Chain A
Amino acid sequence: MQFTRDAVTGLVLIAAGAAMFAGAWGFDPPAGTAFGAGFFPKIVSSGMALSGLLILLGRERRSLTEVMRIDGRGVARVALLVAMIVLYALALDPVGFHISTVALLFAATLFFGGSLPSALLLSVLATAVFHFIFYSIMKVALPWGLLLPVAW
């Protein structure tokens, strides 16, 4: 299992390095100079690909970061969380900060195993606190969206 994981890691890094290197060809140096905007990215992308290659060949088995077991269910759960955040990013401006934040916190509390009453309480209370800290104290222009008519 570990072998495959390092192989995947290495291959992904090589691919990303190659893509970045290809992108760097687009940054032509201005006329008369030997190196321009693409010079540094080329070094970085080569380094990335090289480290990928080393990981691929090295199959180093010792790693201090704890070993992760990931199954289909885990992937689905992470994807669900990502979907919730994406929806939030999309809804923030049109729907507004208050409605989207209550919805996100409500869903996230249930997602992390909280009970229905605690999700209700937490989402409303935390949104009120966030409103107070960010809007009232720090004067951040939080979008009101649908609630614009009642904004203060």
Chain B
Amino acid sequence: MDFAAIFSQLADPALLLTIVLCTLYGALVGALPGLSATMAVALLVPFTFFMDPVPAIAAIVATTSTGIFAGDISGALLRIPGTPASAAYVADSSTIAHSGRPRTVLFVSLFSGAAGGVIGVIALSLAAPMLAGFATNFSSYEMFWLAALGLSCAVFVSDAPPAKTFASLFIGLAIACVGIDVAVGMPRYTFGLYDLYDGVNFISAMIGFFALTELFRAALEPKAPRADAKSPKMEPLRQAIGDALKVVRQRWVSVIRSGPLGVFIGVLPGAGSDVAAWIAYAVSRRFSKTPEKYGKGHYEGIVDGGASNNAAVSGAWTPALIFGIPGDSVTAIAIGVLMMKGLNPGPDIFERSGDLVYTLFGAFLLANIAMVFTGALAILLASQLMRMSKSLLMPLILGLSLIGGFAVMNSAFSIWIIITLGIVGFAMTLGGIPLAPAILGVVLGKVLERNFMTSMIKSQGEFLPFFSRDISLVLGVAAILIWGLCLYRAFRAIIHPEKTQRTMENDA
């Protein structure tokens, strides 16, 4: 590893400018209620198409981490979480904001978010090379089980009912089946359209799922309910920053506890920042001396939740880089970008492009530092951001989606993909089917099928060799156990709906 080369790459003004601009962009989109960090990334991807690998990935990371923080802004001021990751502690943050301390609470979540993010980056740069060393001798059997395990984890940790999460996964896998097949090179489900031979263009699919679905939902309401512009009175900035620093310093234990917890949850496929925030909040409450204060304007849960959801952003990159298995929907998008850049994720990524990966980690760190400043700017402009009108925002998102999709394929065909998948995604939300697992399916579909078919051809159609190696046996048994448990839960819901209902309510 060549430190000098890495530092000189990180000092590149173009990279720094990209990071600062993307943290600003993430702050803007994250702060607007209803626009998730995932959507911000989906709209960003066409631009990354034209960038070098490091700035492209740095742009995605910078956008996500600030977007996840900025979700707290509308959460505190309007009681509407800007991104799902802020939902866990929205009751606390809005109570504090409405008692006259909106800036303090926002700076608390900014500082704990940045601290969590830094913990996440450190964990990522320590764990990823170790994991990669362990995984270099994986064969197609292990890779198949890993991909299968990755998909099943999504079902297991998802909040939606198992059957619906399964449905979402299979819809994603079905989309991945379109195009020339990986085993014998036969075109499938292309309906004679040559544009589909390469499969469904990934970026267009992303934009359709995350941007258009959101637009359709917004279109359901004739007149967008204008966010109540009566934002709370702001306290002096200097005082807010000082108090926030004091709060975070007093609760450093929470940061130390929830940072690594967030990283761990981020690593699990399918569980991202939102799940991390919920779990960290719950853990914090259980260990707190004053659990009765939670939900009524207590800083402790905000520090825990804020640190863990930003730490999860980095955690999700560990399996993404080493196994090509996304930890959340944003890394699912990022894997597509990595592959576009010829930087295929895999256990040997450190040998193939080690300097590049370490430069990336450096860029992650810079993004979390830049976030402190752009986040502060977003807090200053918070009440203006909240007054941004939906009637102007939605057309811009629409234009950016369609032109961005066009730019990548250079063909109007991308707009057809966007609109088709937008309708599919909208229909899925109407049926209560979550969208994120479908993206995992789209991304992992080809990996899963390639490793499955390679293994089947190697074993000449026998299933037993799938378990013939030590690691593949462990992974295979784990995957089958998880499938069994999910099926059991789904069947129990059929046989004893009332009982399941009750236990689920107890869980929640």
Contacts and interface: CB of A to CB of B under 8 A. Distances in A.
Bound together: yes
Interface of A: 5-6, 8-9, 12-13, 16-17, 20, 23-24, 27, 29-30, 33-41, 44-45, 47-48, 50-52, 54-55, 57-65, 67-68, 70, 73-74, 77-78, 80-82, 85-86, 88-89, 92-93, 97, 101, 104-105, 108-109, 111-114, 118, 122-123, 126-127, 130, 134, 138-142
Interface of B: 47, 50, 159-164, 166-167, 169-171, 173-174, 177, 181, 183-184, 186, 188-189, 212, 215-224, 389-392, 394-396, 398-400, 402-403, 406-407, 410, 412, 415-416, 418-419, 423, 426-427, 429-434, 449, 452-453, 456-457, 461, 490-491, 493-494, 497, 500-501, 504-505
Chief secondary structure at chain B's binding surface = helix
Given A24-B188, A63-B432, A73-B222, 16 more contacts: A9-B432, A12-B431, A23-B188, A23-B189, A36-B186, A37-B183, A40-B449, A45-B170, A60-B493, A60-B497, A62-B504, A105-B399, A109-B395, A113-B224, A114-B395, A140-B410
Contact of B167 (A55, A64, A70, A74): A55
Contact of B170 (A24, A47, A139): A47
A60 B391 contact: no
A77 B166 contact: no
A101 B399 contact: yes
Contacts of A89: 402, 412, 415-416, 419
Contacts of A24: 188
Contact of A63 (B164, B391, B410, B456): B164
Contacts of A55: 161, 163-164, 167
A134 B170 contact: no
Nearest to B391: A114
6 contacts: A27-B188, A39-B456, A58-B497, A89-B416, A112-B218, A130-B400
A65 to B, nearest CB: 5
Contacts of A6: 431-432
A4 to B, nearest CB: 11
A44 B177 contact: yes
Given A48-B171, A58-B490, A78-B220, A118 B392 contact: yes
Given A78-B216, A114-B392, A52 B410 contact: no
A130 B399 contact: yes
Nearest to B171: A48
A23 B186 CA distance: 13
Given A40-B449, A58-B493, A58-B494, A92 B412 contact: yes
Given A112-B391, A130-B399, A57 B453 contact: no
Contact of A141 (B189, B410, B434): B410
A24 B188 CA distance: 8
B184 A36 contact: yes
B163 A51 contact: yes
Contact of B494 (A50, A57, A97, A122): A57
A114 B389 contact: yes
Nearest to A9: B431
Nearest to A41: B177
A86 B186 contact: no
A92 B170 contact: no
Contacts of B505: 62
Given A93-B412, A112-B395, A8 B402 contact: no
Contacts of A122: 392, 395-396
A80 B487 CA distance: 40
A150 B434 CA distance: 47
A40 B453 contact: yes
A18 to B, nearest CB: 12
B184 A30 contact: yes
A105 B397 CA distance: 10
B161 A60 contact: yes
A141 B493 CA distance: 53
A67 B230 CA distance: 27
B453 A39 contact: yes
